[in-house]
Amino acid sequence: MWQERNINAYLAVFFAVLVMGFLVHQDPAFAGSALGHFLGIIGTVLILMTLIYPFRKRVLKKKGKKNPLNSHITYGLVGPSLVVIHSGHKLDSLIGILIFLSLVLVVLSGIVGRFLFKKVNRSLKEQKQDHKLLKERIEGRKQDLFAACRADYSNGEAIGESVGREPSAFSAPPDLVDECSHWLDEVRAFAEKEYNMRFFDRLKTIFTKWIKAHYAISGFLFALLVVHVITTLYYGLRWLP
């Protein structure tokens, strides 16, 4: 999995370099050539294969041993890269410009959503584990503190009766003071974890909306690809005899 993540990182850099190629290279004839169409078809098929991941996750509710998100990212980087090569860095029509812009937005939103959302999920999971541990420790200290307070109160009451003073007039022993101090420190830590968990929950909600936007842009891209394929077939393939 570590190697897959590195491969996807290299693919992301490769896609960025291809996009920057629009500034230095243009080939108006390549998109309509046989090789150009072949790369465009392969790229479109790979882009369509990115639908496998949301279909398995949202529709089939399947969770395999291997994370299908890695394949989703690979398809989502290789496919657009081939489409950019297919264009020959030349956009002559409105549909071509819209496909290119939506393609870049889909890839960028996917990359940002992938890394940030994973980071939020990991942080939230760690926060929940720490929260649970602190809660268990606080419950344990609370029981110890109650037991110590009951014992101290009983001793103070017995001494107070013998000397004619109120039990509350006696100060708590140092051990009990230290126990209370530690207990209060853990309560403060627990409160901070609670706050952090709520913050990450809100952040996770924001990234969930981010992913929905990624899906919406992807749907727009798929619609544009269908229109592009239909118009290309309608006007004919120039490389055919």
Residues 6+ away with beta carbon under 8 Å from 138: 183, 186, 187, 190
**Tens-digit pLDDT string for the chain (241 aa):** 456 667 888 888 999 999 998 888 888 888 888 898 899 999 999 999 999 888 887 777 776 666 678 888 899 999 999 999 998 888 878 888 999 999 999 999 888 877 776 666 666 666 666 667 766 666 666 666 556 555 554 554 443 444 444 444 445 556 655 666 666 666 666 667 666 667 777 777 777 788 888 889 999 999 999 998 888 887 766 666 6
